[in-house]
């Protein structure tokens, strides 16, 4: 009997390095999300002034007595349109000269349109404020803001670094609050489960490959002993 080389058919678990990276990302992101959801069962209600006096150990918050101004905002553009707006949050009455510790991130189209209109208005501050008030009255009237701060090892460092370079008078430890976002335990738990499932399938694939190679070697040595 002559043994011929056979190609072990590759399956979807033969992802190699990409597979391990996918597992790592799912476990890290999902695990952090599960931890934050368990840590923050309800949003912490706190005034912006109290937040700045002693920053709490919480990611999900309702900031009360907030003063926000589109005049100081920056935005991220994608495909020629405003995709995300970053607006400083201050305690009511705080001077614009004070460092910004909290940035509100929103993708609201009305806010994006207001910011675009504001950027195209006259360069004088008076006209900018007038344009902003005409386009974003609801934004200026808003006093309480609920959202989830960005967190974790895979935090958006690139965007944070870009924002830090802007002339927004940002504090070194500033945070970004995603408007209206809340912890999602179910989604993050599913991510952890998916990571564990992929790891298990890749482990089974590796064991199957090892068993297949062992059988090939045993058959090869058995043939040589019979010759």
pLDDT digits 0-9 by tens, 112-155: 777 776 666 555 555 555 555 555 454 555 678 999 998 876 56
Q: Alpha-carbon distance 26 to 70, whole Å?
A: 36
Q: Alpha-carbon distance 46 to 71, whole Å?
A: 25
- Note the pTM of the prediction, 2 decimals: 0.73
What integer pLDDT is reported at residue 76 of this predicted model?
A: 81
Rounded to 10 degrees, the C-alpha dihedral 55/61/62/66 comes to: 40
Higher pLDDT, 81 or 122: 81
The 3-state DSSP composition of the chain as helix, strand, coil percent (nearest 5) reads 50, 20, 30
What integer pLDDT is reported at residue 191 of this predicted model?
A: 95
What integer pLDDT is reported at residue 11 of this predicted model?
A: 46
What integer pLDDT is reported at residue 77 of this predicted model?
A: 77
Q: Alpha-carbon distance 101 to 175, whole Å?
A: 6
């Amino acid at each position: 009997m002559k043994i011929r080389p056979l190609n072990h058919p590759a399956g979807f678990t033969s992802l190699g390095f990409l597979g391990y990276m996918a597992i790592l990302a799912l476990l890290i992101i999902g695990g952090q999300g599960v931890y934050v959801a368990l840590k923050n069962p309800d949003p912490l209600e706190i005034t912006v002034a109290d937040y700045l006096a002693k920053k709490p150990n919480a990611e999900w918050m309702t900031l009360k007595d907030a003063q926000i101004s589109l005049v100081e905002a920056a935005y991220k553009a994608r495909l020629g349109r405003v995709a995300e707006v970053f607006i400083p949050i201050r305690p009511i009455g705080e001077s614009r000269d004070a460092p910004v510790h909290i940035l509100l991130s929103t993708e609201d189209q009305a806010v994006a349109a207001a910011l675009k209109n504001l950027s195209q208005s006259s360069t004088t501050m008076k006209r900018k404020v007038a344009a902003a008030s005409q386009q974003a009255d609801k934004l200026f009237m808003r006093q309480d803001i609920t959202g989830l701060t960005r967190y974790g090892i895979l935090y958006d460092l690139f965007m944070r670094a870009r924002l830090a370079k802007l002339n927004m008078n940002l504090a070194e430890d500033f945070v970004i609050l995603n408007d209206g976002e809340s912890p999602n335990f179910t989604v993050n738990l599913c991510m952890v489960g998916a990571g564990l499932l992929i790891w298990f399938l890749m482990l089974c694939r590796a064991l199957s490959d090892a068993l297949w190679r062992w059988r090939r070697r045993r058959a090869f040595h058995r043939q040589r002993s019979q010759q």
